[in-house]
Amino acid sequence: MLLAKKYIKVKNTATFLIEDFDEFKMKMLNWANQFSIFCLLDNHQYRFETPAFECLLAVGCKYSVVASAGNAFEQLKTFSNQHAGWLFGHLGYDLKNETEKLHSKNFDGINFPDAHFFVPQYVLRLNAGELTIFSEANVQEIFLAITSCSPVLPSHPGSPINIKSRINYQEYIDTVVKLQGHILRGNCYEINFCQEFFAENTTIQAVEVYRKLTAVSPMPFAALYKLHDKYAICASPERYIKKSGSKLISQPIKGTAKRNLLDGRQDENNRVQLAESEKEKAENVMVVDLVRNDLSKICRQGSVKTGELFGIYTFPQVHQMISTVSGDLENDTHWVDIVKATFPMGSMTGAPKKRVMELIEQVEKTKRGLFSGAIGYIQPGGDFDFNVVIRSILYDAATGYLSFQAGSAITFNCDAVSEYEECQLKAASIKNILAYVPGFA
């Protein structure tokens, strides 16, 4: 049962004590989905040493900016300077075209803008036992509107979705061999190569799919983001970058092992093998070096440190190798300048960054768009947190086009078949969720 035990109002903020966290979160999403824009950032109550996302829901739009690569960062900075409160939104991978003077001509079935940020009408912060609402509106009415919504309930199976691959098995193997040739010639050291899975003329209910995906694979940097007819349904385990005071933190992931939920001994063996894998550690340290270099552009000299190297984190579907890199900012560095210096994130590109992004454009068949980008928020005072958009479904309700991508790090010593299988592993939970979905918008 849902119950508000206490109501405390301070200026334009009110806090309510609630019961049944998960039910209330689904009620919030059903309420939010009536608006044309909303953004849920969902930590699924992970308790890391460096905390995951706060569980925040931004709803409605007072002001917004849509920016395209070319002068996007200047537009974002101007907009941010005009609106000093909460900002939510996304950074698309193809902002690389501005930072590195590149281009993108591949197919894009979703067409999220390169960047979009909005000033929300309402911000809701959900903790284990309480909800805080930030709004100039009547917060009591907002709370009552949410509590009157029905939660998203499990539905009967709908029609199967016909998921296709943009790159077939042999094309994938041939491309890996081609990329290894570039590595042999010294053009790059490591490259993140992704493939698209897609469906056309599809109708899904995004809130329902998010509930199903995160029930199977709850992740600390999950998000459900609606921008008019476009949705990002995200079950990401990875943080791109976080600012807390003068401290910057980035936590790149490189290294994946499958869980074995039926055999605890084998599951632990998989975890140990990941921890001891020289291949995975070599890939991880390359990305760590790249992140350290990016942070060094904007942090005080000598302050960039690797706090945790090759940490093994266990999630419901996979074990992941995660490292934590931090640095201390120079005074008064604007958040847009921090993003401009570090984006796109090294885990989704490779090294050296510009050259591998050129190669990515040549060998991949789909524009990444919001995939490999980031969703997050800037709070009053300037602290921020952004995820990496992976393990995510992108959906355009107007056209019925649905897309998700998966990738892995290609190095000279990698095995093409194993890399293909890693991509299939990463895509498996999404494919299973989409095997049957409710057939309504």
Q: What is the CATH number of the domain that holds 116?
A: 3.60.120.10
Q: Does residue 439 lie within any of the structural domains?
A: no
And the tokens for 115? 């960047």
Number of domains in the chain: 1
pLDDT digits (tens, 9 = 90+) for 239-280: 999 999 999 999 999 998 989 989 999 999 999 999 999 989
With a CB cutoff of 8 Å and minimum separation 6, the contacts of 431 are 163, 197
Q: Model's pTM, two decimal places?
A: 0.94
Q: At 323, is the pLDDT very low, low, confident or very high (cuts 50, 70, 90)?
A: very high
pLDDT digits (tens, 9 = 90+) for 104-128: 999 999 999 999 999 999 999 998 8
Q: Does residue 47 lie within any of the structural domains?
A: yes
Q: Does residue 135 lie within any of the structural domains?
A: yes
Q: Does residue 360 lie within any of the structural domains?
A: yes
- Residue 352 sits in which domain range? 7-433
pLDDT digits (tens, 9 = 90+) for 346-362: 999 999 999 999 999 99
Q: What is the mean pLDDT of the chain?
A: 92
Q: Does residue 2 lie within any of the structural domains?
A: no
Q: Does residue 1 lie within any of the structural domains?
A: no
pLDDT of residue 440: 38
Q: Does residue 438 lie within any of the structural domains?
A: no
pLDDT of residue 152: 62
Give the percent of the chain with pLDDT over 70.
Answer: 94
Q: Does residue 441 lie within any of the structural domains?
A: no
